[in-house]
Amino acid sequence: MPIDATQPYDDENIFAKILRGEIPSSKVYEDEWAFAFEDINPQAEIHTLVIPKGRYVSWDDFSAKASAEEIAGFVRAVGHVAREKGLVEPGYRLLANVGQHGHQEVPHLHVHLFGGHPLGPMLMRR
């Protein structure tokens, strides 16, 4: 079920538990600002999730409230993971779902990193 992206941050969401190490994940990268791990239900050959360490529900919350340092750290981490995975030359796709229409299911900001093969057109036709 997609979430309401205007809700307050819930410390019991699944990605908060992954960040605290309460639930296992397949870690790809970690630094002061971000944590990256493999999606449990991959939609492409490479499907990695990158999340900020701060308590942000969505891209909206993050872009409105995060500090310049947090934003820079997170964006750099996404780029770092893509480079580490060798995705720059073949190309890749980033996606951040927000709220109901975006079909966001987990209420902690995450950027999906897809790659490993041609990904096709961006959106299904309506």
Q: Is 117 a catalytic residue?
A: no
Interaction of residue 98 with ligand 5GP, rule CB under 6 A:
no
Q: Which is nearer to ligand 5GP, 87 or 109 (CB)?
A: 109
Q: Which is nearer to ligand 5GP, 5 or 82 (CB)?
A: 5
Is-contact 68 84, C-beta < 8 A? no
Interaction of residue 25 with ligand 5GP, rule CB under 6 A:
yes
Of 9, 10, 14, 80, which one interacts with ligand 5GP (CB under 6 A)? 14
How far apart are CB 26 and ligand 5GP at their closest, in Å?
A: 7
- 101, 108, 110, 117: which is the annotated catalytic residue? 110
Q: What is d(CA 14, CA 27) in angstroms, rounded to the nearest whole number?
A: 15
> 71 is written with which tokens?
């934003």
Interaction of residue 58 with ligand 5GP, rule CB under 6 A:
no
Interaction of residue 104 with ligand 5GP, rule CB under 6 A:
yes
Of 39, 80, 116, 119, which one interacts with ligand 5GP (CB under 6 A)? 39
- Three-state DSSP string of the chain: CCCCCCCCCCCCCHHHHHHCCCCCCCEEEECCCEEEEECCCCCCCEEEEEEECCCCCCHHHHHHHCCHHHHHHHHHHHHHHHHHCCCCCCCCEEECCCHHHHCCCCCCCCEEEEECCCCCCCCCCC
Residues involved in catalysis:
110
Binding-site ranges for ligand 5GP (CB under 6 A): 14, 23, 25, 37, 39-41, 97, 103-106
